[in-house]
Structure 1
């Protein structure tokens, strides 16, 4: 047998063994470090890597957050994106930040709610949202969900971003600057407790900025995807609790994603919420029943899972 024959025989033997190709790696878009989305993506990835039975793996990636993630999913740069229900609806409808660019996205399932943390040091003269006028405010990354909220809230106060001095920073950096006095207030649309807020609380006493009752009523009326959430004082060690606005977060995928893959992801995550909660406190706020009332349609692979 010459060398070419031997080589061919070896190749045939390898083919006969049906050695599987490396598992497909799925990328889940989260947000900047310091918020709740990145650790949520880490915990989800751990569940998928454990229970997807080698069919594929998942890895979390840092992104600019809720507004950018639908675009990244639609463009195929990531496979799954974490965003909020209101932003997902805008992306599918081609409105708001996505004006004229409707996207074929579907829901994979609900996650925890995110609340709009509006935080100052306890001794600040900023009492309500309107007092942010003329102040230095860390508003989160440029593609994050905080800006989406600001765009809906500021008109109720006859304000725009031009009325503040915004710093477009990761939540971690923004709250570090609040603690050292570089900014007057820091905002973060995040699950609670948020790591960035906890870090700032370790440096000094904080206070949550709230809305006047009439303004809060208008904001909720004009933005039906928003809800209110009561944050107890012991969450961040503040002197009093606060009522904050927020929205349910969700997972989005492309409409043409393989249904079997979507179903396997949903099974890996939602069948093991006890493990999810043990690793990530925000997972305790996940309500699977919300799968039937998300702002966009469920992917067929997710619908078959939740219908069980």
Structure 2
């Protein structure tokens, strides 16, 4: 957090550099993801709520590599608060999986957000009719450091494949789905809230279809990865012929455990006391269930727990 009236340059691991003029209030940086997904506009809306309703605090959204990278950024102090999901927050606090080199972190939750779903899509008319059909295909897998890649690896594993069986393109969601519409990749994946701007933009030019997951594969995924959920995306969302039966995971706001109780409480109050305004500004916020904040997989920060009465 910064105080005083100065001009600063904020740089995070994803490479974004932003000039920021701070006020007398404490300035917070919220880590989001690449543009074209859900995290960035959600972060923008959260920043607006904090700026409007949290005394002595301001907030600015920062483009980052996404949900995998965000816990590291919070842990390193490069951002003060960030968006990630249940699964990754648990791995980060244990220091395992993508965080084995970083070591165990000490993250706490501020509150529950929307679901992210694993968009698994190809062009209508493609010969890709199952996850197994991705073998040997060119696949846009999202940005390096984003949450899509580990999720995709697990889904491929359920079909007996690995990342070595595909030709991955590490692109932002917007670029990945643009490449799909142009025929430069055979499939595109995005772990994002829905409707995702990247998918909507591609759907405006080409008809898309979901790569289906079988009932057996879905059951195996839910049994193996208990943080995942089955989500049904209505066919009207992206103009597909069938509803999308997909895997999803609950997102959350995370901070370091060392954040003061007062700051954590003010952030939580600014967001959840004004959920109606949040939902009017951002479609993803309509999926937020505040009570789900009591069932997240890492502990609530004491300031947030005070707000939720826990």
So what's the TM-score if we normalise by structure 1? 0.92
SS at match of 1:119: strand
The answer to whether 1:137 aligns with 2:133 is no
In the alignment, is the contact (CA less than 8 A) between 1:41 and 1:60 conserved in 2?
Answer: yes
Q: Judging by fraction of residues, say which structure has more helix.
A: 1
SS at match of 1:27: strand
Which residue of 2 is the match for residue 277 of structure 1?
Answer: 279
In the alignment, is the contact (CA less than 8 A) between 1:87 and 1:148 conserved in 2?
Answer: no
Which residue of 1 is the match for residue 61 of structure 2?
Answer: 60
Distance in 1 between the 2:208 and 2:157 partners? Answer: 27
**Deviation readout 1:186-236 (Å, 9 max, x if unpaired):** 100000000000000000111011211111111111000000100001111
Post-superposition offset of 1:158 = 2.4
SS at match of 2:37: coil
Post-superposition offset of 1:94 = 1.1
Post-superposition offset of 1:148 = 1.8
Distance in 1 between the 2:67 and 2:252 partners? Answer: 10
**Deviation readout 1:248-288 (Å, 9 max, x if unpaired):** 00000000001100100000000001000110001000001
So what's the TM-score if we normalise by structure 2? 0.91
Distance in 1 between the 2:223 and 2:96 partners? Answer: 19
Distance in 1 between the 2:189 and 2:28 partners? Answer: 30
**Deviation readout 1:137-175 (Å, 9 max, x if unpaired):** 000001111012023222222222110000000000000
Gap runs ≥5 in structure 1:
1-20
Post-superposition offset of 1:241 = 0.8
Structure with higher Rg: it is: 1
Distance in 2 between the 1:153 and 1:178 partners? Answer: 20
Which residue of 1 is the match for residue 74 of structure 2?
Answer: 73
Gap runs ≥5 in structure 2:
1-22
In the alignment, is the contact (CA less than 8 A) between 1:89 and 1:295 conserved in 2?
Answer: yes
Post-superposition offset of 1:24 = 1.6
In the alignment, is the contact (CA less than 8 A) between 1:106 and 1:254 conserved in 2?
Answer: yes
Q: Residue 296 of structure 2: which of 294, 297, 307 is its match?
A: 294
Distance in 2 between the 1:179 and 1:25 partners? Answer: 40
Q: Residue 269 of structure 2: which of 267, 270, 273 is its match?
A: 267
Which residue of 2 is the match for residue 94 of structure 1?
Answer: 95
